[in-house]
Structure 1
């Protein structure tokens, strides 16, 4: 790093940060891409290293050149040539004419021909991954999803890419080959001429349906040659799609595609026609992989089927219903606000009351399933004895300053990561391999795929219908939640500011199924579910959803992420608070899991990276409206202090945003709040920074803790004893 002078930040996202820099001696400009290791699995890190290896060996004028890469304890750093702009720069003045589109097409085709000749599939061609130099040269970048195919591999199955530019065969989750890249290219060329991709909608499920079933809307002002090229590239049947080597001969391109020298082409390039025996081998491989791909892993297909079933039910409902019938919950079965399987999520309490008075004509299974749902919702209210924060922190007879913690603090490695071994037992390794041999659907890809579609608007009803069906599947077969691809799709709406409280609550409820205490004959492999949740960043997504909900209701500064201190919790609706309780309850359960430290690490990282400290502090003020939500926060903060001493600054950031009213929490009528606040104060005194210790040792706080020694609730007395011993010990040591 000493060789480079960092000039400015030019980009930031979930992948990391990108800076413009200058070489101190050669004076050339470069781009430095910093990718944090924290929170990434070893599989993801290996995938990133694989991307660098692929790019380092590429030498082409239309591909961004990787100059080098190195690693630190915390980050992967990639050095690439600096490119000034991206493809959207060309669209600032509107769409392109055919001549300019031809220039872009020839350069991209040259890059793709070079890659496919070397048997490399890019698999994520989209405008954001196409850069533009000041000289008008197009450069392809971001090889995070690229795959180098060996000589015996003809087709792939893993779902990679961005749905707007994803080929139909990938959407249908069928085996595919390099022709998927050519479909993506066709989408981009179409967008340059028209101003939007061939199929464009803000609904993920509607997009899937459009790509599968609808025809491309062709503009009428294109020349025959241009139209023919686009129709060839956007052919839905990959076997009939315009491809190599015939693509190079298309008259619209005017022989302007730059090709690599013949002597540099490797054996069996993807750009030459296959022999009869190779075609046969490819077809056998395609059919074999199709048969081995289980239906339950086909997330797009299942989601679309649920949407179609939902629309069939809606269309078969009566056109109109008497108003007096709709007023009764039982009569609302055909409205969009009521689900016949699980009742009314937005007004759950009244639905539970009225469900026992359903007319005889209604489905008798509803009462049973409603009770099942209520069982799941209890995941945000685990019994006190199940929560680590409320287990007796003092061992009988121990010295008050050398007590035994209820849960042993996990040993910390020099990098701040848990030293719990991440090895997998042979039996579990076999399970994982058995799953991944059928189809590899990358979880991060699925989440990223939904992200662009969710950025502007969200079809809440469609997502709710999808989640209702998935919840039903998960109750009957909890192994459904072992699929990382499914979890990645499920959490995607949590990153959208337009997600309704009802939708957010559904997501949290679904994810809480494994710990809902539902009686089952078969056992659930919790470790595989935990791995799926960790790999798809469930905890950071839950935390971000909390922040969005609070900012949306409580007055915020979107540029700084701060929350208006003059606002109170009154702006949060009952539905908001119910959703927040679900989110925080699930987060607390995951953070307290004893089998892994990954969730608590992700929580601490997310508070800093997502700037959530103010939002969490704001939630402490809802203790009188939603005690359980505040109780979960107190439990998480205590757990951070108990097991993650190096992250004490996270607790400080949350509690010192403004003056935290500990006396108010200690005086709350709910004994759970009083108990957990005492536990937190004890850990503030034991492991907090000077600022935190000062907060917990205020005279009014100590006086209130002393009063709680005689509280009527035994849990409160126990926690108050723990806190008071530590506070009294401090007084004795300081001579007060």
Structure 2
């Protein structure tokens, strides 16, 4: 049921969407109130639910407040409780995304987005994820439907160009605070439930109900592949059920499909996202330095020296050894193959080895020989 009601400074309009945790409607700021408190834009979105069913929406409002300041996360202008027909309604005022969802953009592209556009969108999503993870949160439901296109300017033009839009992460209803969840795990390890959408879940989420920052990176890889190809990263048959899909994700060695028409940099970017062992998956901070998205180097976060070493050593290298090709893989879920080439030994190392050998022959070896002889005599007696 649409509610054509109003708050103290805004007025609710038509419904534009419905989700698991609330209904989304257009909202306009009242002119007098807007002059008195100019933090409200003329046009907004309001997400609302009955107070008795608004716990998740209230949690989302709290998370958005803690994540303020990032231009790649949907802005929140506050909340308000209104009374309509004797019922209390909880409302959260949000930034209006006139460009719609990334899911709609992909659907209307009829075969995928241009790679230049994908690179730009991916960089923005990564910057948002880095901000989220840096503050101790995990989104848990990264997918095209939860990525919104917002006009860069406050232009009220009815025609929206995708070049004028920036993507922003929205819908934090499934998000979690990693520190709080870690404290809960001590007593509730077996009662953890899956969050998110199966098509974008990571292997560790399905297999171990583990959802940390690397899970968002896996989901981002699925989104990037879908932007390029225009279809989900997992090639699913129409009659495949959810359990079969989850089995493929969590308990096989299969990986999501990498679009063949993607550039070399794009394919390598997806390789860093689609690592089945989460501890080897690249972080948002590392991916912001990847050639696929690193045009704006100034916006990439500063990395520690250890991370820089890991980053620089994460390429697949091939070399000819004895007429055969050998692959050394770093930064993936496969164990690194050690370098078996002989390294030059210094004179100091040789001298140290000789001294150690002489000491062993004069002291340790005779003592050990006497010990073994005495032991054998005791046994024979």
Instruction: Determine if contact 2:22/2:57 at 8 Å carries over to the other structure.
Output: no
Instruction: Determine if contact 1:107/1:258 at 8 Å carries over to the other structure.
Output: no
Structure 1 residue aligned with 2:79, among 65, 69, 84? 69
Structure 2 residue aligned with 1:161, among 181, 192, 196? 196
2:234 counterpart SS class: coil
Q: 2-side partners of 1:217 and 1:98: how far apart?
A: 17
- Measured after TM superposition, the shift of residue 210 of structure 1 is 2.2
Alignment pair present for 1:107 and 2:136? no
Q: 1-side partners of 2:174 and 2:181: how far apart?
A: 20
Structure 1 residue aligned with 2:287, among 227, 239, 247? 247
Alignment pair present for 1:78 and 2:107? no
Q: 1-side partners of 2:89 and 2:306: how far apart?
A: 43
1:137 counterpart SS class: strand
C-alpha spacing 1:221/1:12, structure 2 compared with 1 (3 Å): closer
Give 1:207-246 correspondences, 5 Å limit: 207-212=245-250, 213=252, 214-246=254-286
Q: Which moved more, 1:78-87 or 1:243-252?
A: 243-252
Report the count of equivalent residues.
262
Match of residue 24 from structure 2: 18
C-alpha spacing 1:137/1:14, structure 2 compared with 1 (3 Å): same
Instruction: Determine if contact 2:26/2:45 at 8 Å carries over to the other structure.
Output: yes
- Measured after TM superposition, the shift of residue 220 of structure 1 is 2.5
Give 1:177-196 correspondences, 5 Å limit: 177-196=212-231
TM-score (norm 1): 0.33
Name the one with the larger strand percent: 2
1:251 counterpart SS class: coil
Instruction: Determine if contact 2:136/2:178 at 8 Å carries over to the other structure.
Output: yes
Task: Answer 1 or 2: higher relative contact order, Cα 8 Å, separation at least 6.
Answer: 2
Give 1:311-322 correspondences, 5 Å limit: none
* RMSD over aligned Cα atoms: 2.8
Q: 2-side partners of 1:176 and 1:272: how far apart?
A: 24
1:179 counterpart SS class: helix
Q: 1-side partners of 2:198 and 2:70: how far apart?
A: 27
TM-score (norm 2): 0.62
2:283 counterpart SS class: coil
Q: 2-side partners of 1:154 and 1:231: how far apart?
A: 32
Match of residue 103 from structure 2: 88
- Measured after TM superposition, the shift of residue 15 of structure 1 is 2.8
Instruction: Determine if contact 1:107/1:257 at 8 Å carries over to the other structure.
Output: no
Instruction: Give structure 1 stretches of 5+ with no counterpart.
Output: 263-270, 276-736
* Superimposed CA distance per residue, residues 188-209 of structure 1 (whole angstroms, 9 cap, x where no aligned partner): 0000011222214341012112
Instruction: Give structure 2 stretches of 5+ with no counterpart.
Output: 1-6, 35-40, 152-163, 186-191, 308-381
- Measured after TM superposition, the shift of residue 186 of structure 1 is 0.6
Q: 2-side partners of 1:237 and 1:79: how far apart?
A: 39
Instruction: Determine if contact 1:199/1:210 at 8 Å carries over to the other structure.
Output: no
Give 1:347-496 correspondences, 5 Å limit: none
Q: 1-side partners of 2:297 and 2:242: how far apart?
A: 35
Q: 2-side partners of 1:153 and 1:253: how far apart?
A: 32
